[in-house]
């Protein structure tokens, strides 16, 4: 391997967060390098139609949207490299970053490696994404207006997705493998109070059924206590069994909370000076293309300021406590319950061993 390349700012991740950070840093004259990963475009590229990104009123494919941000970043001088980071040494500055073909020494790093929704792990699931299988009601719920949908999972996320879908779908069936939910009481009570939500426990989705056009048309369910099987017709299956943030390489160096990189409450600074985090890898709450892009912008600005002025506040794990405590109070918001509640410390999908990973999302 050749000698390391020296760069002021290295961005890891080629989703909306990483490309937007590259755009801003490029425009600021930092000539950043963005290692986009072999899965360039990020999660968004798995979406056939994105209708909720501002400035794109007619919608476009996720791949097209990602590519447009990428091209804009390159237009401002960012170098985008299709490669995977396979090793980092953040124990000293400049930080050392190793990819499959190259190595870099960077004064500052933006981590924008995203997260991946957990899948059910059933045959045909991958090919049915965007054809009936969805992982985010906020993203894809509107495509199922007036139709019957199934939501799978047993935590706050699944119940929240059910409540959200009940506002647009004609009927929601919530399928969970256990008889009890692992959700906050307030969320469970809200879900159970909605007539349009039918709760099926203890059931699992055993098989995904597709029509001749390759769209999801139903699922085969199994009752775990009786063993009985039945087929449910449905146009949409929302898988809500958690997310896996891609923190593995950075976890030994950065504070991680509930699987996500901890950032300052007021900036994208992490617990380690010179390292910034943006997008879903640091966001357990919103997980949208626009919020990822927005935090990519913030990370580039934060990194530029730190490189120029050395100004640093840094992230602390502590602020999470009062925030979580406030959420446990009576003012828990049901406006976006799946998000407000999912991140309650009581329902940490990463650290709670009782988390239901097998009930039916990566």
Ligand X SMILES: Cc1cc2nc3c(=O)[nH]c(=O)nc-3n(C[C@H](O)[C@H](O)[C@H](O)COP(=O)(O)OP(=O)(O)OC[C@H]3O[C@@H](n4cnc5c(N)ncnc54)[C@H](O)[C@@H]3O)c2cc1C
- The Cα 275–Cα 298 span in angstroms is 13
Is 140 an active-site residue? yes
Q: Is 221 in the site for ligand X (CB under 6 A)?
A: no
Between 147 and 223, CB nearer to ligand X: 147
Nearest to 201 by CA among 360, 348, 341: 360
Please count the CA atoms within 13 angstroms of the CA of 20 that sit on its side-chain side: 23
User: At closest approach, how far in Å is the CB of 281 from ligand X?
Assistant: 6
Q: Is 236 in the site for ligand X (CB under 6 A)?
A: no
Cβ neighbours for 65, distance < 8 A, ≥ 6 positions apart = 16, 44, 50, 53, 56, 289
- The Cα 333–Cα 354 span in angstroms is 25
Strand partners, 89: 96
| DSSP β-ladder status, 103-111 and 275-277 | parallel
- What is the contact mask toward ligand X in residues 269 to 288, using x (rule: CB under 6 A)? ----------xx------xx
- Taking only Cα atoms into account, the Rg of the chain, rounded to an integer number of angstroms, comes to 21
Helix (H) or strand (E) holding 109: strand 103-111
Instruction: Using alpha carbons only, give the angle 62, 65, 68 rounded to the nearest 5 degrees.
Output: 150
Between 223 and 291, CB nearer to ligand X: 291
Quick one: tokens of 148?
């019957």
Q: Is 23 in the site for ligand X (CB under 6 A)?
A: no
| Stretch of 132-140, 205-213, 303-311, 315-323 lying at the interface with ligand X (CB under 6 A) | 132-140
Among positions 95, 135, 181, 250, the unique one binding ligand X when judged by CB under 6 A? 135
List the interface residues with ligand X, window 110-129 (CB under 6 A). Answer: 112-115, 117, 129
Is 136 an active-site residue? yes
Question: Looking at 136, 280, 297, 302, which residue is catalytic?
Answer: 136
Between 102 and 220, CB nearer to ligand X: 102
Question: Looking at 140, 184, 283, 356, which residue is catalytic?
Answer: 140
Q: Which residue has the tokens 């924008």?
A: 112
Among positions 46, 102, 178, 222, the unique one binding ligand X when judged by CB under 6 A? 46
Q: Is 37 in the site for ligand X (CB under 6 A)?
A: yes
Q: What are phi and psi of 107, to 5 degrees?
A: -70, -35
DSSP single-letter state for residue 186 = H
Residue 346: Cβ within 10 Å count: 16
Between 44 and 303, CB nearer to ligand X: 44
Q: How many residues bind ligand X (CB under 6 A)?
A: 39
Between 184 and 259, CB nearer to ligand X: 259
Is 34 an active-site residue? no
SS3 of residue 353 by DSSP:
coil
Among positions 8, 9, 10, 13, the unique one binding ligand X when judged by CB under 6 A? 13
Strand-by-strand arrangement of the 133-134 sheet: 133-134, 236-239, 148-152, 171-175, 197-200
Q: Is 17 in the site for ligand X (CB under 6 A)?
A: yes
| Stretch of 1-9, 33-41, 305-313, 339-347 lying at the interface with ligand X (CB under 6 A) | 33-41
User: At closest approach, how far in Å is the CB of 302 from ligand X?
Assistant: 16
Residues making contact with ligand X (CB under 6 A): 12-18, 35-37, 39-40, 42-44, 46-47, 50, 52, 84-85, 112-115, 117, 129, 135-136, 139, 246, 249, 279-280, 287-290, 292
Active-site residue list: 136, 139-140
């Amino acid at each position: 391997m050749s000698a390391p390349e020296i760069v002021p700012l290295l961005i890891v991740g080629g989703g909306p967060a990483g490309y937007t950070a590259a755009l801003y840093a490029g425009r600021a004259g930092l000539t950043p390098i963005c290692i986009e990963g072999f899965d360039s475009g990020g999660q968004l590229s798995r979406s056939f139609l994105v209708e909720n990104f501002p400035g794109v009123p007619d919608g476009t494919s996720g791949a097209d949207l990602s590519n447009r941000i990428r091209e804009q970043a390159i237009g401002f001088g960012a170098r985008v490299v299709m490669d995977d980071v396979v090793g980092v040494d953040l124990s000293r500055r400049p930080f050392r970053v190793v990819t499959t073909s190259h190595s870099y020494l960077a004064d500052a790093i933006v981590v924008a490696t995203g997260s991946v929704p957990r899948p059910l792990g059933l045959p045909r699931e991958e090919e049915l994404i965007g054809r009936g299988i969805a992982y985010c009601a906020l993203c894809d719920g509107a495509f199922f207006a007036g139709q019957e949908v199934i939501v799978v999972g047993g935590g706050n996320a699944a119940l929240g997705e059910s409540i959200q879908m009940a506002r647009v779908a004609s009927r929601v069936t919530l399928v969970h493998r256990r008889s009890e939910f692992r959700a906050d009481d307030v969320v469970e009570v809200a879900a159970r109070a909605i007539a349009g939500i039918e709760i099926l426990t203890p059931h699992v989705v055993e098989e995904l059924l597709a029509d001749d056009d390759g769209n999801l048309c139903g699922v085969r369910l199994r009752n775990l206590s009786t063993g009985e099987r039945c087929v449910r017709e449905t146009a949409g299956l929302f898988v809500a069994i958690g997310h896996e943030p891609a923190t593995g390489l950075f976890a030994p160096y950065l504070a991680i909370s509930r699987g996500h990189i901890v950032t300052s409450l007021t900036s994208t600074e992490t617990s380690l000076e010179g390292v910034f985090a943006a997008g879903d890898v640091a966001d357990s709450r919103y997980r949208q293309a626009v919020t990822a892009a927005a935090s990519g912008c913030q990370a580039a600005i934060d990194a530029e300021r730190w490189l120029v002025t050395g100004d640093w506040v840094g992230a602390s794990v502590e602020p999470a406590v009062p925030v979580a405590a406030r959420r446990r109070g009576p003012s828990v918001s049901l406006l976006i319950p799946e998000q407000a509640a999912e991140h309650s410390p009581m329902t940490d999908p990463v650290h709670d061993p009782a988390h239901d990973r097998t009930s039916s999302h990566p």
